[in-house]
């Protein structure tokens, strides 16, 4: 394990992005389990189920990309401000 003092900004950024990705994936998985339960209980047709499944996955991907863009933006702004000092 690296000494905390020797961790680069890029490593910290990558770590947080990975944790966010894992959390979103876990959240998606839980929604998919709920969808499967609903399909069994209410006999949702396969085409509807696939549509809802795709929406869950798309929304999760969109969420991750939005967070990644936001982190990139603020990371760049922080570097610009530190460069001015």
Tens of pLDDT, residue by residue over 30-49, are 999 999 999 999 999 999 99
Q: Could you tell me the residue ranges of all domains in the chain?
A: 8-84
Q: Tokens for 43?
A: 């006999």
**Whether residue 1 has pLDDT greater than 80:** no
Which pLDDT does position 27 carry in this prediction?
97
């Amino acid at each position: 394990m690296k000494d905390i003092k020797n961790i680069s900004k890029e490593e910290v950024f990558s770590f947080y992005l990975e944790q966010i990705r894992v959390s979103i994936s876990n959240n998606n998985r839980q929604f998919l389990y709920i969808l499967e339960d609903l399909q069994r209980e209410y006999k949702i047709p396969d085409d509807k189920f696939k549509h809802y499944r795709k929406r869950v996955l798309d929304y999760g991907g969109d969420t991750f990309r939005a967070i990644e863009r936001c982190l990139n933006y603020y990371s760049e702004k922080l570097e610009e401000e530190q460069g001015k000092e």
